[in-house]
Amino acid sequence: MALRGTMHAPSDVQSRNIPRAGNTGRLTRHAVKVSAVAATPTPARTPASTGSVKRAMTMTEKILANHSDNASVKPGDNIWARVDKLMTHDVCGPGTFGIFQKEFGPNAQVWDNERVVIIPDHYIFTSDARANRNVDILREMATKYNIKYFYDIMDRSNFRANPDYKGVCHVALAQEGHCKPGEVLFGTDSHTCNAGAFGQFATGVGNTDAGFILGTGKLLIKVPPTMRFIMDGEMPEYLLAKDLILQIIGEISVAGATYKAMEFAGSAIEGMNMDERMTICNMVVEAGGKNGVIAPDKTTFDYVQARTQEPFEAVYTDGAANFVADYKWDVSKLEPLVAAPHSPDNRKTARECSDVKIDRVYIGSCTGGKTEDFVSAAKLFYRAKRQVKVPTYLVPATQKVWADVYTLPVPGCDGKTAAEIFEEAGCVTPAAPSCAACLGGPRDTFARMNEPEVCVSTTNRNFPGRMGHKEGQIYLASPYTAAASALKGYVCDPREYM
């Protein structure tokens, strides 16, 4: 049950050891008795010499202030934000470069060829000529503008023969060191907000805005107000991050955070690894959010510094910062959840849907196709020692995740890898890393729903037609719930097998 009431903020901020970053420190307040005295008149100063008045800010506001040369910003301010990274992929990339060339001229150069990241991932392993042409166009653009970070794929028949190819853009951005605390990332995909897990401002933009960024490295944006979601308590063994974000979206609705920053805090969030934090931030757009953000800590720094030597500056919400809404949960009291068709806010407990017979299970996507997601599913399969009753499709998000599925021993499973456990449970062999059926795609896309089936999926959206057939029914769920449902053939609470 969410507690709502007067908006407030913590009275102080804990000190942190932050590499290459300013230490916020502990704020102290002292009661001081002041007597009224007559002051000597002084000449009034002009606004220019006075400067801006500092105000308490949230993480999102601080990042945007730092990137717009403002001492402070407030919700509703329109600012020109400097961009650290722009990401685009095979669906929107050709259009983005087309707009850039039309508006800036055929001989213009991109603002910084080392800050543009191109990741083909959506419609890759298909014979569709138009989808393949999109990747060809990106290859031409990467060559023309000497783009440093283009994760190309040349041989679609064997993804492992393509060392540059990564897979799903949002997970690849993190794994390749492009997500860093305190930075500003825009991407031509609504789930770019995934990167907020690293304490950065990350959000999706359209092709026109992306084309403008290509030419200038800046974008005019409105500073969003911030909502705070505190998740405290010890996570039960049957819950995952997906359950928490479904709880939040079900509480506030798909429009509840429209053009707002969603900041996540609390002991349950702090206890998560980066894969789980990305799951939380990935789905803020399903609540209408502009961006999601989690305060960086040692877990963040260890992940980032293992992947890049580039400097970064972490920032934190001030103790007196203002939130437009405050929600708080004790996660120990939550249950495994699903989002029933056809909206991510159609929240139900898995138990409530136990009479729903299913036709398939899908584990994959930027939301549910990370290493932690497959490890979680494998743990449940191993404990159950049973065969799946419906086709269970597995799509690792990236090549790195695919390798982890085949090489990492799953904790507590006698040294077996996730791939070995999946094979024993009768799952479909893990597919090549890509977005695959998460958003339908061409008819020959792996695991696409070409019939009006019922699917339990670890993806992020369940709108009509999202995974293919417009009459398909999609139940969004955690990897635990998805695995349990595969074993039972019905939507299933994972506690039945744990």
Can you give the CATH number for the domain in which 413 is found?
3.30.499.10
329 and 341, same domain (yes or no): no
112 and 246, same domain (yes or no): yes
- The tens digit of pLDDT for each residue in 337-381 reads 999 999 999 999 999 999 999 999 999 999 999 999 999 999 999
112 and 198, same domain (yes or no): yes
Strands 337-339 and 392-395: unpaired
94 and 237, same domain (yes or no): yes
Residue span of the structural domain in which 345 resides: 337-497
Q: Which spans in 177-320 are helix H? A: 207-216, 241-252, 267-270, 274-282, 298-305
Indicate whether 61 belongs to any domain: yes
CB contact set of 255 (below 8 Å; sequence gap of 6+): 287, 288
Is-contact 111 213, C-beta < 8 A? Answer: yes
Indicate whether 81 belongs to any domain: yes
- How confident is the prediction for the chain on average, in pLDDT? 91
241 and 117, same domain (yes or no): yes
In angstroms, the CA 97 to CA 83 distance is 17
326 and 364, same domain (yes or no): no
Whose structure tokens read 């190309």?
152
403 and 477, same domain (yes or no): yes
In angstroms, the CA 259 to CA 249 distance is 14
298 and 364, same domain (yes or no): no
Indicate whether 30 belongs to any domain: no
**In which band, very low, low, confident or very high, does the pLDDT at 163 lie, cut at 50, 70 and 90?**
very high
In angstroms, the CA 349 to CA 335 distance is 7
From edge to edge, which strands make up the β-sheet containing 291-294? Answer: 291-294, 261-265, 226-232, 325-330
Q: Does the pLDDT value for residue 164 go beyond 60?
A: yes
Give the pLDDT confidence score for residue 287 in this predicted structure. Answer: 98
**In which band, very low, low, confident or very high, does the pLDDT at 8 lie, cut at 50, 70 and 90?**
very low
- The tens digit of pLDDT for each residue in 302-348 reads 999 999 999 999 999 999 999 999 999 999 999 999 999 999 999 99
Q: Does the pLDDT value for residue 230 go beyond 60?
A: yes
**In which band, very low, low, confident or very high, does the pLDDT at 54 lie, cut at 50, 70 and 90?**
confident
429 and 299, same domain (yes or no): no
In angstroms, the CA 269 to CA 294 distance is 8
Give the pLDDT confidence score for residue 137 in this predicted structure. Answer: 97
- The tens digit of pLDDT for each residue in 195-215 reads 999 999 999 999 999 999 999
N residues, the chain = 498
The helix/strand/coil state of 402 is helix
Indicate whether 8 belongs to any domain: no
Segment 272-293 mean pLDDT? 98
Domain count along the chain: 2
Q: What is the pTM of this model?
A: 0.89
**Max CA distance (Å), the chain:** 85
More confident residue, 222 or 44: 222
**In which band, very low, low, confident or very high, does the pLDDT at 434 lie, cut at 50, 70 and 90?**
very high
